[in-house]
Chain A
Amino acid sequence: MAIKFAGEFEVKKKPEEVYDFLTDPKRFASLLPDFQGLTIQDATHFTIKVNVGISYIKGSADVKMELAEADRPRRAQYKGQGSLAGGNVTMVAGFDLSPTEYGTRVKWQGDAQIFGRLASVAGGLLEPLGKKQVQKLIDGLQAALS
């Protein structure tokens, strides 16, 4: 099952500052909803531990992340993969940055593919829940970059 996200916002920071924030997992990852911990493997690979609670499926998931595209200060793209209780999630999330009169316009788009029991038993909940969580993340990003 596929869930797509997209949107844009504007912040009063330079594209370079926004880019540096977005590509620094130590600053960026803690904004994720239900964030529990972070392990950094190298400059482009890190693992985030998040709490998951969907219907009766509860637990924590390790999501392996890779900074797949890094074009300072224009574009950053992450690819991730995680598993929980018989389900797997793969995701791609990209940020395109462009300078504006006041700062930077951030266009973001995401694509998550959900496989397995998560999609089977909680399919109807995933899209609204996912969108809510993404909105929380975006709100957090905007606040952090303000």
Chain B
Amino acid sequence: MVEERNNGGKGWVGASLPRKEEDRLLRGRGKFAEDIKLREMLYLRFVRSPYAHARILSIDASAAEALPGVACVITGKEIAAETQPFIEIGPDHAQKIRDFPMAVDKAIYQGEPVAAVVAESPGIAEDAAEMVNVEYEALEPVVEAEEALTDRSVLHEAAGTNRVWNGVWEYGDVEQAFKDAAYVVNIDRLHFHRFSSTPLENNVIIGEWNPKDDRIYYGCNNSFPSFAIQFLAAHLKVHIDKIRVQTFDIGGSFGIKITSYPQMAVCALASKKAGGRPVKWVETRSEHMVASAHGNERTFRNTRVALDKNGVITAIDSKHIDDCGAYPRYEPLGCVIWSQVFCGVYRFKNARIDFWQAVTNKCPVGPNRGYSRMQHLWFLERVIDICAHEIGIAADEIRLRNYIRPEEFPYTTPNGCVYDSGNYPKMLEVAKGLIGWDEWRKKQIDAQHEGRMIGIGIGTTLDSGTNNFGQSQIINPYAPFSGNSQGANCKLDIYGEVVVAVGSCPQGQGHETTAAQVVADVLNIHPDLITVRTGFDTERNVHTGMSGTYASQFAVSGLSAVHGAAQKLKTEMKRLAAFLLETNEDELAFGVGEQGPEIKANATGKSINYWGLANIVNVNSAVLPESLYDVTLNCRYVWRAPFKVPDTKAKYGSLTLTYASQLHIAVVEVDRETFVPKIIDYVAVDDCGTVINPPIVEGQVYGATAHGIGAALMETCVYDEVGNMLTSTFSDYTPITSMNIPKIKYGHTSTPSPHSYSGAKGMGEGGAAPIHTISSALQDALFAHGIVINDSFNNADSIFRALKAHDGGQRAELVKLERKQASSAK
């Protein structure tokens, strides 16, 4: 152990340690919210609207209430009478949206809860829910965002419009750039499809409203509880300190579980109505698919791209329309979050993006791995590939001509974001080497001669992490959020055990392990000697208002907080040890002795172990001088990101602290008979700066790659014209499984971030690189057939239809190239 205390002098940050969580989780010994059983617990089942848009004429729950075992039935009207609508982040008319956790007068998406039945068992609740008779008057549904903006049928009558938000981001001299361009490429319509995450564990909530003191307890798997309680306190009209939220092991979230606070409200209110008995809701898979949250769908219209004679993009002008589903809720933050990666990995300085967001009669959206940025990055990668094909420049070459150059970092984007570090040409070189680029190009030519359709595609993407909540003020200047913070606590327990508590709620990201690695380096001990308490608990008093697990930030915000708390503890330990060992603080050495972790005086060789230190502070304090009464060995540290509030009018400022990058290359073949696209080779190269734990990073890369491949080729939320979701089961949605994931060749480069104490960058979301890459490869395979890939979702059916449409000129309808000056781009 002694020899291992500092990993042979290399330190623990960067070591390939197995995850501390593994033993528990792989043996089935994890503790999840569904495992929690409370005395006298009741079970809740929602009655959901079959209609995407319908007025509720009446609800007759008498038959359900009469069923033995039913405790109560609660309706949206009852909730509206007792609570305030949820806070709306959007400005102006969006403030008038009245959002309650269940439909009150009308349902505005299929699956929206209209009532909830609470019973002694899940089975009774399910049976009783079917006995609730709801009479509806069907209203005209709107399922497309562009159509919704016409306000032909308005969802939120109080708001008077389906438009949630609109704003223009404009920088440089766009029109001059178009005047000076050698080429102008016009792209009529691109579309990023709606898909979701399918975590192994669905949403689970236990809510208990104690009638004695009006305190509310939640045991749940919400992944951003500090945000949820801010919404819940105002909605439930209780002091925020009266709400306790506890999370446990969480079986995946990908952001989707941020938005379970409406159901949390219902469980608490149902508990109140049931006399304070705890109420548990366990979401079914179909409920999750239809009514939890989906990722944002976005349409890009009337895009114009100006390029110089070398194929360097000089300006982009486009209109983007985001579909946030029935309620904005966490939105319209997505209306600004995309601008963290405004120019992607490219250098263009002139741009105008006219951004709109609309509500539609579909499931509300929520943050979903790569939230809001992936849509924009896909758009930029489509732009680069379409321009490359139109002008006749190779996909790798046009990227090299447009990438931000390594020597330009830290790089300030047109909207004031500061990219910390990166080397995109190097990543391309590594990826090309791993996949065998030149050989594949030769094979591709041979295959084309045989009539085969093989394409090679590149996707370069960013994973912006640790966001500045001040960007919310670009959406609404009155939004009371800015900066970013994370809390951690590091202490010597009464018996000298090192215990770390963090405000995050990991869902498989290995926070227990990486936090232990950081503290181990500070105290010069082995990570196994450190206990890390994960799982959020408001009563640990660790969290800040931004604590949770989201937005690729734990490596920066979470571990900076852990590092700060460990440093505070170390400072206190040094003061105490210097007194006890009668030496100077700078004469002390941290390490591990025969009696465990200790501090030794270099000059005398005397030492005191951690138990001795903790004992004196906690149970033997009479020996302490008054000057050390402030030493608690229980240190909370709040890390704050060094952000300023952005210039909200100019939409200018630093919106994110770190920018991890991913570069993927895929070789895809489209079967000539069946049109099934198949990945035949795949490379993923990652740069997240300093790596805390390589296997954890590699695991995240594989996970994000699988997620993206699923989204690109298999997973899409299909709605029919009246708003029925047609992919509400796994047999229809077809989530990716291990059987569908190709062998992935993994590569890594590292440009440490100057913006984090360790050089690390958040990287868990992955930037949806496979979606960009597969679109790129498919276009490469099909461009010769007149196909331009204009949708992020492509399967055999859509490819067949595109090829069929080619007879009518799909490419000609979609893309127009203007050659304004004679040039020789190739």
Contact = CB atoms under 8 A, between A and B. Distances in A.
Contacts, number: 60
Interface string B718-752: 00111011111100100000000000000000000
A121 B728 contact: yes
Q: Please tell me the size bucket of the interface on B.
A: 20 to 34
B136 interface: yes
A123 interface: yes
B48 interface: yes
Interface in B394-443: none
B724 A114 contact: yes
A1 B290 CA distance: 15
A120 interface: yes
Contacts of B50: 83, 86-88, 115-118
Interface in B283-305: 286, 290
A30 interface: no
B805 interface: no
Contact of B720 (A87, A88, A121, A123): A123
Interface in B683-726: 720-722, 724-726
Contact of B722 (A1, A86, A87): A1
B720 A119 contact: yes
Contacts of B497: none
A56 to B, nearest CB: 10
Contact of A120 (B51, B138, B290): B290
B525 interface: no
Contacts of B471: none
Contacts of A144: none
B110 A90 contact: no
A115 B290 contact: no
Contacts of A90: 138
A121 B726 CA distance: 7
Interface residues of A, number: 19
A40 interface: no
B726 A123 contact: yes
A39 interface: no
A83 B60 CA distance: 14
Nearest to A118: B50
Contacts of A113: 138, 722
A90 B48 CA distance: 18
A124 B721 CA distance: 15
A52 interface: no
Contacts of A116: 48-51, 110, 724
A85 B725 contact: no
A121 B724 contact: no
A114 B51 CA distance: 9
B52 interface: yes
B61 to A, nearest CB: 15
A33 B795 CA distance: 38
B647 interface: no
Contacts of B51: 88, 115-116
A119 B286 contact: no
Given A115-B138, A119-B720, A121-B286, A86 B48 contact: yes
Nearest to A121: B729
Interface string A1-13: 1100000000000
Task: List 7 tightest A-B contacts by C-beta distance, closest first.
Answer: A116-B50, A119-B724, A120-B728, A115-B50, A88-B50, A1-B720, A123-B726
